[in-house]
Amino acid sequence: MKDLAALLAKFSNAHGLSGQEGAVASLLMEELRPLSDEVRIDPMGNVIATRLGEGPVVMIAAHMDEIGLMVKHIDSDGFLRFVPVGGWFDQTLLSQRVFVHTREGKQLPGAVGSKPPHLMEDEERKKPVKLKDMFIDIGATNLADALEMGAEVGSPITVDRSLVRLGNGFVTGKALDNRAGMVMMVAAMSLLKGRKVKATVHAVGTVQEEVGLKGARTSAYGLTPDVAIATDVAVTGDHPGITRAECPIAAGEGPVITVLDANGRGIIVSPPVLRWLRGAAESASIPYQLEVGSGGNTDATAIHLTKAGIPTGVISVPTRYIHSPVEVLSLTDLENGAKLVAEAIRTASEHFQHQ
């Protein structure tokens, strides 16, 4: 298997706001070319790598985009106001370093600031600073200076963070949602290289998941697979501030197979798909956890509602502090997730037929 830490760093450290996934797509194509018969980008911007075979058509979907910001206004003093792109918890943004991406491809370093606490009234200090009261300082002296530097209305903004190792095989970085799912997909394709598989496999890097599951919807419509798996991350309940009763998923205890997410408003995975994924894990002695979630959903929600319906499951990496610049996961879970995806693909023909 590939060096997962290095591969995860390669993808995590790259920048790809929703709708601006080009740099990440290029990296994904580079990784998938040796593992596929054909790699292309569709009109929406999705990367589609196809490994041809006889049997059912299996789609693996991992979204390429990350949450970030976008410039909405530059004031006369050169400070940038912004809107969120994707789901941010405001408090995680304050005092972060960011990159403002210019049309010329430059990354302007910036800092997220707000009114200093020293000048706040007592009541102000008791309240969290809201995103609307934050701004980005790129060192510009005025509006003309900011424009000359390359900032403008519509400039994408991403967090300035790099992946680092923690203890016991854990890592922390930005955009592990969903660069971890991308690595899981690439590593699974690598595990299958040179092995006979009774299936045609489409490994798809989808766009704009964080803002409406858009790329998954269009790519699934075009490919019409017989079965699909979304690879993503799952919220954990193994740290202070939350109980295992609220969320029994834990990092380090194996990849996650979703039963239901968003209280059923997302996907309710069908029994045949659950049997397939659980059977793959058990036959290969891969530890796994089951998720019944009340929070967000994944590309699977859009895929399984495409056309007449596509049987779809979700395999995720347990990840702490999702939608923050310091997400944390276990490399062992990531490795086992890749093994589970590969085993599911290998056994798909035993459960599904090409329609």
pLDDT digits (tens, 9 = 90+) for 293-330: 988 899 999 999 999 999 999 999 999 999 999 999 99
- Superfamily name with CATH number, domain 68-159: Peptidase M42, domain 2 (2.40.30.40)
Q: Which residues are catalytic?
A: 209
Tell me the per-residue pLDDT of 128-145, one tens digit each, with 9 for 90 and over: 899 999 999 999 999 999
> Can you state the angle between helices 176-192 and 331-347, rounded to 10 degrees?
50
Query: Residue 123 — pLDDT band, cuts 50, 70, 90?
Result: confident
Q: What integer is the mean pLDDT of 32-47?
A: 98
CA distance linking residue 8 with residue 345, whole number of Å: 22
Domain ranges for the chain: 4-66+174-350, 68-159
What sign does the CA torsion over 158, 256, 249, 220 have? positive
Query: How much is the mean pLDDT over the chain?
Result: 96
- Of residues 212, 47, 63, 74, the one with CA closest to residue 137: 74
- Beta-ladder partners of 66: 17
CA distance linking residue 23 with residue 65, whole number of Å: 10
CA distance linking residue 21 with residue 3, whole number of Å: 23
pLDDT on residue 355: 80
Query: Residue 261 — pLDDT band, cuts 50, 70, 90?
Result: very high
Is the pLDDT reported for residue 71 higher than 90? yes
Residue ranges of alpha helices (H) inside the chain are 4-12, 22-32, 122-125, 143-149, 176-192, 214-223, 271-283, 299-303, 331-347
Asked if residues 108 and 102 have their Cβ atoms less than 8 Å apart, the reply is yes
What sign does the CA torsion over 155, 156, 157, 161 have? negative
pLDDT on residue 1: 65
Asked if residues 181 and 317 have their Cβ atoms less than 8 Å apart, the reply is yes
Is the pLDDT reported for residue 115 higher than 90? no
Query: Residue 244 — pLDDT band, cuts 50, 70, 90?
Result: confident
Question: Residue 169: left if φ>0, alpha if ψ -120 to 50, beta else—which one?
Answer: left
CA distance linking residue 237 with residue 244, whole number of Å: 5
3-state secondary structure of 122: helix
Which amino acid type is present at position 321? Y
Is the pLDDT reported for residue 125 higher than 90? no
Is the pLDDT reported for residue 126 higher than 90? no
CA distance linking residue 207 with residue 218, whole number of Å: 10
Around Cβ 269, how many Cβ atoms within 10 Å? 22
Strands (DSSP E) contained in the chain are: 38-41, 47-51, 57-63, 68-74, 80-85, 97-101, 107-113, 135-137, 156-159, 164-165, 170-173, 200-206, 227-235, 256-260, 289-292, 312-320, 327-330
Q: pTM for the full model?
A: 0.96
**Class at the top of the CATH hierarchy for domain 4-66+174-350:** alpha beta
CA distance linking residue 306 with residue 298, whole number of Å: 14
Query: Residue 264 — pLDDT band, cuts 50, 70, 90?
Result: very high
- CA Rg value for the chain: 21
Structure tokens at 177: 């949602």
